[in-house]
Amino acid sequence: PVHDQRLQLLGQRDPGVDADRAAGHLAGRQARDALPRRPGTALVAGGTGTLGALVTRHLADSGRAAAFLLTSRSGPVAEGVPALAAAVAARGAGTRVVACDVADRDALAAVLAAVPAELPLSTVVQAAGVVDDALTGDLTAERLAAVARPKSGAAWRLHELTRTADLDGFALFSSLSATVGNAGQGNHCAASAFLDALAEQRCAAGLPGSSMAWGLWADTSKITGTMSAQDLARVARSGVAAMPAEVALALFDAASARPEPVLVTASFNTAALRSAAEADALPPVLRALADAGPRRPARRQAAADSDAGPELRARLGRAGTAEQRTILTELVRSEAAVLLGHASAGEVDLDLSFLEQGLDSLTAVELRNRLHALTGVRLRGSAAFDHPTVPELAARLHSGLGPEVRAPGADTADEPATGTGTASGGTSGTGTATFGRLYRQAAADGLTEQAMAVIRGAAAFRPVFTAEDPGAENQRLVGVTQGPDTPSVITFPSFVSRSAIQEYAALAAGFRGVRKVTAAPSPGFAPGEPLAADLAALVGRHAAAVAGTLDGTAFVLAGHSSGGLVAHAVATRLAAEGRAPAGVVLMDTYAPGRPEMAMASWSRLPALLLADADPDEDPVAEDAWLTAMAHYLSLDWNGLEPVSIPTLLVRGRDPLTELGAAPAELSWGLSDDVTVVDVPGNHLTMLSVHAQTTAQAVNDWLDRPRVSPEK
């Protein structure tokens, strides 16, 4: 038995079936009629949001409260408040809207103290919450707190301060993710699980409590409004169907009338559940639903059954080298189409990068997992960024095929290089790998500076190119986003981030559809790839690559952290050649000479990226990254020249505490035209947790006349 006896499923099967929907409505009406009614006040936390407003109107329609107290961070200035108050008043109830952080005990206590004695608190609904999706390795204490405070923190304060009140109902809006899991929502799952446990505790103490593990509502809220097409496609593949408001509110009534403390309130599509079950991707608690309802043909998606992998590998084993590459190209294209929500593989462009086509970090990992399950080739979680187009990722898969699958005589030497700075030629994990493990041990012992000195010395044995060497044609720009606005943006990833385009994956959402953004990773971050011998060679290679893409429209150069140093240096070089950019954007870039540029500081940064990384995933690529980073950060950056190019310095407001005591605030003295903007977050989170506000700050500055084509 896989079902917890405390869990009940109140979901609808195949929501398109009228009989099932009618049964759901009937259950909701019967439950609503059985619910208590008495003159009192209903408190709805998050009451001005989409779901809170729907519940408020519903409670008013059914006469379950004589007054409503709605709280949210925005309070009376929230969008739609006048219309909501008017709708509630039309049902004969009063409304009070208050701006309150419900997780703040004193603030909530003051709000509750103002509830009139003649209309005492009778119902509590906690419908507030936010999401901040991220892979587990990218979660920080800040990201956990940002989700937990308005959800589980607020629920606890409501419980604590209303424990002695005579309540008819105490409803908590949890999430299905806490019951079945959801990729990329570890913080949201944890906060929702807290709500489930709180409802259990209240019921055990004889208090009313109902935690409703909601599936997807069709009405777009602040939470679901941020979901991309691929997010919605991911939900659909899981078997969860979007519920119209009337269905969801009927489930709300049914759940409110039941004695169980935790209930799943969601709609399911049994055809999609069966497909997920066949692919062994269905949580055990939902397997019974996969066999329920009328049988109907399920659309077979890529990787839909457990035999797909062995069948594919057998097919590859029978094919020649050219045919294998064709098969793998078709595979990557079809799997990407599924994850991007396309109807056919043909909608996935072979020339555009995955990032340009909407892939994010979470979906990139899902793509890696699906390809690994089918081919058996072990890939890095960032494979779709390391090998950013369909043909390049297919080539990486081909190079990793085992000897039992590879065509006789096949050679990896002719596999195309990606040029993104993180590709690993040949089978992942092969070769001699030393420095990743050395650094990990040094970090554990507090000896990162000494370890980096060793790694920097080892970089001297790697092949290099000089400023006189040809080869600019081997350095290319990788697409990040497409959009019509100018100026376009050419970004330089930082050295600590492996000089990878993945650094700008979250930031890309703020530019997608707005303006063209490309990335110029630095050479030498792939195994066997030469390093620039010195700063002149690095800047010259980048300047030549950028110049080769110019089409006469305005452009700016941008970079985060050490990538900003590269952006400034390349801008200086292009200006000397008469091809100056319209501006330079520096995102938390430390000027040469600052303490952060000393090895004692930057040597600690890799530990943050390696904390959750598997040391056996791709140790050869890891060594290439560490030696390249140590080499480039040790170059003489003190010789950067001042310019008159308009420059934006975007600073994270919070210090990166991992680097020690907070230093003096950032400044930039290498331009006589500098604009400084402070944004939420620290050196790292300004491009992850707070990527949207960072992108907005950059876009606002780029739209100013001084950096536009009309300047």
Question: 566-587 pLDDT, tens per residue?
Answer: 999 999 999 999 999 999 999 9
Q: What was the pLDDT predicted at 222?
A: 54
Whether the Cβ atoms of residue 501 and residue 355 lie closer than 8 Å to each other = yes
Nearest CA among 85, 62, 67 for reference residue 250:
62
User: Which of 593, 600, 588 has the alpha carbon at shortest distance from 661?
Assistant: 600
pLDDT at 708: 47
pLDDT for 451: 92
Q: Report residue 550: phi and psi, to 5°.
A: -70, 140
Q: Please tell me the predicted confidence (pLDDT) of residue 381.
A: 82
pTM over 0.85: no
pLDDT at 421: 40
What is the token pair recorded at 637? 């950056």
573: enclosing H helix or E strand: helix 562-576
Inter-residue contact 705 to 483 (CB < 8 Å): no
Instruction: Give the C-alpha separation, 639 to 167, whole Å.
Output: 70
Q: What is the DSSP string of 368-407?
A: HHHHHHHH-----TTHHHHS-SHHHHHHHHHHH--TTTSP
**Two structure tokens written together for 628:** 């390249």
pLDDT digits (tens, 9 = 90+) for 515-537: 999 999 999 998 889 999 999 99
The pLDDT assigned to 56 comes to 94
d(CA 626, CA 181): 35
Which residue shows structure tokens 């409505």?
A: 25
Domains of the chain by start residue, with CATH: 7-223+241-269 (3.40.50.720), 308-414 (1.10.1200.10), 464-707 (3.40.50.1820)
Residues of the chain scoring pLDDT < 50: 1-26, 225, 293-305, 412-431, 708-711
pLDDT for res 15: 40
Are the C-beta atoms of residues 639 and 485 closer than 8 Å to each other? no
